A and B are shown apart, each in its own frame.
Chain A
Amino acid sequence: MKNQRVPFLLSGLSAAMLLAACGGGGSSSDSINEVTTSGAVISGTVPGTKIEAFCADGLYYSVNSTDDGSNEHPFSLTVSSGVDCHLVMTTNEHDADNRVITPIIINSGTVSSGVLNLQAPLNMGYVPLAMSLAEIVDTNGDGVSDQPLEVALTLPDGVVVRELSIDPLDDDKDGIPDSYDDDDNDGLYNSEDDDDDNDGTPDSEDEDHDDRDSDGIDDLYDRDDDNDGLTDDEDDDDDNDGIRDEDDDDYDDDNDTSSGSVDYTPVSAYTLSDGRLLASQCAQCHGTNGYSVNEWDSLAGESAAELVEEMLEIQNGEEAPIMQAQAHGYTQSEIEALASWLATQPSSESEED
């Protein structure tokens, strides 16, 4: 339902896309990406298709493939970087009776999972999607293939497919994201179903339903509560009920849209660093990774030599007494180790000295 709405950026093009239909040829347009500040691009070719990504920060991305006249339409979709996402592809997307919704899982050779985490671009090549309902198994008749399509790929560095103990986007880990699961088996998948659990109470009024877009991410932690492609910060109607947030009785600014003050860079394997562990003990007072959020000094971005010199000066008693007391607790070699690590942290923007 809600996430079936044509995303904001595409609305001006939807009529043209409708006329073109699948594989109809003729119309073409530039591929359109949802824009994020730090995104990773998934590309490939498909039959005429709507490509959707559901990401664990609650963000939703979608794009329609570009009809270039061939049978393999290119697409390009920018998704959250470093965040687990699921892909779903829909053919005949504008024909509600005949659309074929195919969840995607990726086989990397070692892992087969729908959980895709990108910190680098991924070209999926041609994805051979089913074009008619006759080609898929769909026991409940909701148009969603019961069997995810497994795509075998050799993954580039920075792209990971993984299994999770808890996958909020796919609670039952059947490879079908919660949005397209049909919990009550009523022939309507959850995001199209106003009453996911068939208890007679609409989801919007149901106390056990705090996930308005049924994407599996509770609204509290969903950066896009209604999966309309606009983050709640940008969206002045977070629940897509047609009532502007400022006039909406059920509006709750859960402040979940901040991308945070810390630049979180996921690593693929744990790296050992005694200096980092020592420096982490500075963070209680000087901020995570040495980035202070107030007028106390940031430590990031200074050279190791400067930091060591300052610590030794402080030990000898020119600075704030509490820092002097702290500085006495560390040996010269510990100070050098923590300073070396802090020196690898880029300067924060507020510290331009």
Chain B
Amino acid sequence: MTTNLSRRTLLKALGLGAAATLIPALTRAEALPHVVVVGGGFAGATAAKYLKMWGGTSVEVTLVEPNTTYVSPILSNLVLNHQRTTSDLSFDYTHHSTVYGINMIHDSVNAIDKTNQVLTLHDGVTLSYDRLILAGGMDFVDIPGLDFDKVPHAWKAGLQTNLLKDQIDAMQDGDHFVMTVPASPYRCPPGPYERACVVADYLKNTKGFANCEVTVLDANSAITVEAETFGAKFTEYGVNYRPNIVISSVDSDTRSITFSENGGAAQTLDAEVLNVIPNQKAAKIVFDAGLNSGNWAPVNPLSYESTLATNIHIIGDSQATPQPKSGHMGNSQAKICADAVLRSLNGMDLNAAPKTNTACYSPVSATHASWLTAVYEYNASTQAMQLVPGAGYPAAGAPSTENYTQMFNWSGNLFADTFA
């Protein structure tokens, strides 16, 4: 087992550890199973926590995450209209370390050796694993000319969110806000429509700009979720909604976007603020490790184990099941995966009937929010997750001030279940 954690070991390896030869050989018993989780978002942070909460001292858990602070994309559209700040949405891994006894390593992964079950981190450290859980979120498909420092996606929260907020704050009456909706599947299905509503409401009702135009360029053929809610709000706010868009390029300096609509000829639109949320694919680590099929990672939904490699599990946005890609769903899958990993380490059969769920409150202004929810079940004949039939899923609730208040109870418990 190779574990080189710091310069301490490095110094020893360089020959300074003369004393090493004097150390008695310890009685080697079977070491504890080591589960390494890569990625500290909603999926990965939940998996690490539940592995220790349920597995206790029978399992050793290491969470590898480059950042010491995580900024939640959930609620981050409320940063754009000044209802929240990114620091309100920031979480750390203190409880993971001090309450649950999880090894925290703030680094990124360079390579996965699937045969020997060893990870190499960016700083050269290697980690052996008995089970590996990849929770790397999603990555963007390239668009020619797109520079996120000038044309933010704001689809991973933090600096990007504040960059977009600052650009919106600098808008004058009569300016044009153009945003894009990626082709399904993408992270947070209601999110782009929610953002369009929040920004349109902010410009019109908070800033009092009567002449700002908000345009939504949607890669999909129609609003993908809560179509009734968002359609009505787009009409109310005067949002210019254009489906069936294929983007060909972006000029990040002039903030112009070139695209075709309904398969037509290329056209270009200029904007004072351009927010391009590109099409998405599994995280880079999934591709690097050869765990993708197409843009996503196929898994067994009973365990989230890759169908392309043993002892590697993939949860959250990167995996290919038809469940929506969201923080709530990543948290939900993480528990199925944690349970399955612990069962397999203990030689037990997997749970044959896992259930997951999703719920999402979407603000459509600074006072109103809607919701969307569904429960998923495992279909043994198709070996896939599906909406529980006959229950009217996905179920949705219309925007209200009551739902706006409830939104913070939902997010509060979700945040705590993941990070506290």
CB atoms of A329 and B393 under 8 A apart: yes
Question: How far is B395's CA from A329's CA once the two chains are assembled, in angstroms?
Answer: 11
Interface residue? B379 (CB, 8 A): no
CB atoms of A281 and B412 under 8 A apart: no
Interface residue? B392 (CB, 8 A): yes
CB atoms of A172 and B26 under 8 A apart: no
Given contacts A165-B128, A174-B23, A270-B343, contact A286 B413 (CB under 8 A): yes
Interface string of B386-406 (1 = CB under 8 A from A): 001001110101000000001
Given contacts A172-B12, A277-B335, A326-B357, contact A268 B98 (CB under 8 A): no
Total interface residues on B, CB under 8 Å, equals 89
Interface residue? A65 (CB, 8 A): no
Question: How far is B161's CA from A44's CA once the two chains are assembled, in angstroms?
Answer: 57
CB atoms of B57 and A268 under 8 A apart: yes
CB atoms of B62 and A277 under 8 A apart: no
CB atoms of B34 and A280 under 8 A apart: no
List the B side residues contacting A284 at CB < 8 Å: 328, 331-332, 357, 359, 413-414, 417
CB distance from B32 to the nearest CB of A (A): 6
Closest partner residue, chain A, to B394 (CB atom): A325
Interface hit among A15-23, A69-77, A291-299: A291-299
Interface string of A244-287 (1 = CB under 8 A from B): 00000000001111111110111111101010111011011111
Total interface residues on A, CB under 8 Å, equals 86
Interface hit among A124-132, A139-147, A235-243: A139-147
Interface residue? B380 (CB, 8 A): no
Given contacts A166-B103, A284-B357, contact A197 B57 (CB under 8 A): no
Interface residue? B53 (CB, 8 A): yes
Task: Name the one of B29, B59, B101, B357 contacting A281, with C-beta atoms under 8 angstroms.
Answer: B357
CB atoms of B58 and A270 under 8 A apart: yes
Task: Name the one of A110, A221, A269, A329 contacting B29, with C-beta atoms under 8 angstroms.
Answer: A110
CB atoms of A139 and B19 under 8 A apart: yes
CB atoms of B6 and A326 under 8 A apart: no
Given contacts A285-B413, A288-B420, A329-B393, contact A269 B58 (CB under 8 A): yes
Interface residue? A330 (CB, 8 A): yes
Interface residue? A68 (CB, 8 A): no
Task: Name the one of A83, A164, A258, A276 contacting B95, with C-beta atoms under 8 angstroms.
Answer: A258
Interface hit among A89-97, A176-184, A302-310, A342-350: A176-184
List the B side residues contacting A334 at CB < 8 Å: 355
CB distance from B63 to the nearest CB of A (A): 11
Question: How far is B339's CA from A113's CA once the two chains are assembled, in angstroms?
Answer: 28
CB distance from A105 to the nearest CB of B (A): 7
Interface residue? B293 (CB, 8 A): no
Interface residue? A160 (CB, 8 A): yes
